[in-house]
Amino acid sequence: MRQREKIIWAFYDFASTPVAFAINALYLPLMIIGAGGTNTLVGVLPLVTGSIAALWTPIVGLLIDRAPSDSFCRRILILISVLVAGLSIIMMTRLNTSLSGLVLLFTLMSIGIQTGWTAVNSYLASEGEEKNMGALSGIGIVFGYIGGAIGAGGAVIIERLASRNHALIFIGLFLILFALIPAVLLKDLPKEAQIENPNLAEILHEIKDNTSIKMYLLGSILWGDAISTIMTFASLIANQVLLIPLDNIAFVVGLALPFAIIGGYAQGHLGDKYGIVRIQGINLGVWAVGFASIVIFGALMPIIAVTCVAGFALGGNVTLTRALYAKIIPVGMEGRLFGISAIFTFFGGAVGPVLTGFFADLPGWNLQLALVVPLIFVILSIPTLKYINENSSVPFQGISTQKEGASS
């Protein structure tokens, strides 16, 4: 991938990461509770959006793989997706007291974001250099969390100076503006030969026979579940478990961003040097220790330590997961297999928040004790790494065409 394309590609992360921090992890849970919702409803949201997106995302992958021009198709999908997502965020200012309205808009926003993610991640798998996949993925994460710091930080400042509605409008416009860069400028490198497009039955057969892909999909359910839970309940964990006042939550969550940048870039480079699977195992171990510490000690944990470690682990996990996907997917199947893997990731990311919210609302339970759910999921995910061969990516069913033009 040329340097120009690396930068252009990374701007989707720059544009969309503020949504994860400002909407998913901060404002939306507080808005749901403020509109009369419960922890259970907060936990159900990823299930609602995941169920719909799981049906839609493979179709997006199919469109990309079968399009006469991958470049044009990806750019159109990014453009449409960010318009839908950005306008959904802006419309939250009109329906901020309606539970049904918030759920609907969050669903549309999530589908839009995931559509764009499918486009940019299939581009990474198609155009990225095998030997530098961790570092290349890390570039996107660094851009993403810098965007998160600017976008989410700007939203917090605007909320303080004006109102939360103005902050939501800012996030929506930020997403649309900066995602226009890859939507307009991102181009595939020319290929010397056309890669055959496998059908759905052939793709499923490839998954069945490929141990690395099967274990990756299973692992993505388990560790994706834990990450989704922490993102879904971030502001509520800060308030209900760590006992941080509501006025200070945005500042504390924002402290995680610089450590996410460091974690994403550093762990990507370590993955290239020592093996992505090995570094991912260490990353998941950090998550397990972190969850266990909060379950046991709760508000006794040093807030700064929790924030820094969580940010570092989050940045690394996103980098390593995306790099691992890009390395094991057979050439010619990047779009659709990402779409299929998204089904597993979505449903994995939905079960944990639902169970966590459900247990948190039970008599005698609370959110702190309910975090044992993501702890169990992340522990179960670690053994799957043993069966993933990160050097197993080969052309689909004997296709001899390799990635061309892979130069930095």
Give the pLDDT of residue 169.
95
Residue corresponding to tokens 């007291």: 97
pLDDT above 70 covers a percentage of the chain that reads 79
User: CB neighbours (10 Å) of residue 132?
Assistant: 18
**Partners of 395 in the β-ladder:** 331
Give the pLDDT of residue 402.
40
**Residues of 311-347 as b/e, b for ≥16 C-beta within 10 angstroms?**
bbbbbbbbbbbbbbbbbbbbbbbbbbbbbbbbbbbbb
Give the pLDDT of residue 330.
66
Give the pLDDT of residue 133.
56
Give the pLDDT of residue 295.
94
| Pairwise CA distance, residues 64 & 188, whole Å | 12
Give the pLDDT of residue 206.
67
Helix (H), strand (E), coil (C) string for 208-226:
HHCHHHHHHHHHHHHHHHH
| Pairwise CA distance, residues 58 & 52, whole Å | 11
- Of 1.20.1250.20, 3.40.50.300, 3.90.1150.10, 3.40.50.720, the CATH number of 3-187+200-391 is 1.20.1250.20
Calculate the average pLDDT of the chain.
79
Query: For the chain (length 408 residues), average pLDDT per consecutive 10?
Result: 75 86 82 86 78 73 71 86 94 88 88 83 63 61 78 85 92 94 78 50 68 84 83 83 81 76 86 90 94 92 88 86 76 56 55 85 91 93 90 48 39
Q: Where are the domains of the chain?
A: 3-187+200-391
Give the pLDDT of residue 398.
40
Give the pLDDT of residue 399.
39
Residue corresponding to tokens 């499918």: 118
Q: How far is CA 253 from CA 51, 120, 144, 257, 314, in A?
A: 28, 26, 15, 8, 12
